[in-house]
């Protein structure tokens, strides 16, 4: 099983040209789940727009998605940002993958929205209601299940409705097919004036590892320097976003095709609002408590069906020396 097949359609393929003295190095690709839709991918837009990839030796020359670019990917993908549960499940099915970094440490990008005139006023009102999530075994399904648990209910106490995507969920909310749906940033920044926030992840849930970086073991052996360059570039981008959120929003607005004011609102929201003191975007360092917490949630959904030997599936050697140690 390849990283490409894990991510499916909800991904961006970034075409990268590693710097080489001959100028003829073969193009590499990385994949970022939900790029262009949700905020986990913001650092990659910043790294590309600010020239961080090029400076670190992984020159991202173009970006796009869809079947054509996915078909261009031959011989596997060296680096992918993806839901940790999908990677663990694939490893259990025999895929030779390693988790190499923790990219997004929380799910602070998610706000659950309702119509302004909705009778739902608190999470206690969710019983018996139709609650949207994107796709089975997705993070959004995990989060809405945890939201119900926080309210004192079980997933069986409400009707969980697969919408097929976040934009589709908003459309379903608009026509009354669901009573509540998740709005990840920047979708909340775009639509917050039209809908009402019922709850945010920051208010009700602890830190849960949102996305990790993974590599195919064979690719990690042959393309280690490229992978390290991608990780360094992304880390630079996160640091830049934290210190210069308004300026960082400029390449994000361009890459995500959103208004600059929307991008600035989304970046500031995630920089300023931490989950239990934990920032949204991480440096790459792995924190075992939040990763374990998310895997346990994925077990409850059936995404992960076996016990996890973390020592066997994690390789921190691609990280800089100051963040290689796993935080227990």
Q: Has this prediction a pTM greater than 0.85?
A: yes
- Return the SS3 of 307: coil
- Return the SS3 of 103: strand
Cα separation, 236 vs 256, whole angstroms: 19
* Phi and psi torsions of 196, nearest 5°: -115, 135
Cα separation, 43 vs 269, whole angstroms: 15
- To 10 degrees, what angle do helices 224-243 and 42-49 make? 100
Residue 197: which residues within 8 A CB-CB, separation 6 or more? 111, 112, 113, 188
Give me the sheet containing 97-104, strands edge to edge. 58-64, 11-18, 28-33, 79-82, 211-216, 97-104, 281-284
Cα separation, 70 vs 84, whole angstroms: 21
Q: List per-residue pLDDT tens for the chain, 328 residues long.
A: 555 555 554 455 555 554 443 444 455 678 888 888 899 999 999 999 999 999 999 866 544 333 222 332 344 678 888 889 989 998 999 988 999 999 999 999 999 999 999 999 999 999 999 999 999 888 899 999 999 999 999 999 999 999 999 999 999 999 999 999 999 999 999 999 999 999 999 999 999 999 999 999 999 999 999 999 999 999 999 999 999 999 999 999 999 999 999 999 999 999 999 999 999 999 999 999 999 999 999 998 888 999 999 999 999 999 999 999 999 9
C-beta separation of 111 from 104 below 8 A: no
Find where tokens 């400076």 sit: 55
Cα separation, 15 vs 69, whole angstroms: 9
pLDDT at 15: 52
- Return the SS3 of 64: strand
If phi > 0 it is left, if psi is from -120 to 50 it is alpha, else beta; for residue 76 that is: left
Domains and CATH numbers, the chain: 3-106+208-323 (3.40.190.10), 110-204 (3.40.190.10)
Cα separation, 203 vs 184, whole angstroms: 15
C-beta separation of 240 from 248 below 8 A: yes
């Amino acid at each position: 099983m390849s990283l490409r097949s894990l991510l499916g359609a909800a991904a961006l393929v970034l075409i990268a040209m590693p710097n080489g003295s001959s100028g003829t190095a073969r193009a590499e690709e990385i994949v970022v789940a939900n790029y262009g839709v949700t905020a986990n991918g913001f650092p990659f837009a910043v790294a590309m727009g600010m020239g961080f990839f090029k400076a670190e030796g992984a020159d991202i020359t173009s970006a796009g998605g869809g079947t054509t670019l996915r078909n261009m990917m031959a011989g596997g993908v060296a680096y992918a940002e993806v839901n940790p549960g999908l990677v663990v499940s694939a490893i259990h099915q025999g895929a030779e993958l390693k988790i190499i970094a923790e990219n997004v440490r929380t799910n602070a990008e998610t706000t659950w929205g309702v119509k302004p005139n909705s009778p739902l006023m608190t999470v206690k009102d969710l019983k018996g209601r139709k609650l949207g999530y994107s796709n089975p075994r997705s993070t959004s399904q995990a989060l809405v299940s945890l939201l119900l648990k926080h309210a004192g209910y079980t997933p069986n106490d409400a009707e969980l409705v697969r919408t097929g995507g976040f934009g589709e969920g908003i459309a379903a909310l608009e026509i009354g097919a669901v009573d509540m749906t998740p709005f990840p940033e920047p979708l909340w920044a775009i639509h917050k004036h039209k809908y009402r926030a019922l709850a945010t992840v920051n208010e009700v849930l602890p830190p849960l590892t949102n996305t990790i970086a993974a590599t195919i073991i064979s690719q990690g052996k042959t393309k280690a320097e490229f992978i390290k360059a991608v990780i360094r570039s992304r880390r630079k981008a996160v640091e830049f976003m934290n210190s210069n959120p308004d300026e960082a929003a400029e390449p994000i607005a361009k890459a995500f095709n959103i208004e600059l004011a929307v991008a600035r609102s989304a970046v500031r929201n995630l920089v300023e609002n931490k989950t239990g003191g934990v920032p949204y975007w991480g440096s790459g360092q792995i924190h075992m408590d939040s990763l374990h917490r998310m895997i346990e949630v994925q077990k409850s959904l059936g995404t992960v069906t076996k016990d996890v030997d973390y020592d066997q599936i994690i390789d921190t050697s691609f990280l800089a020396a100051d963040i290689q140690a796993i935080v227990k």
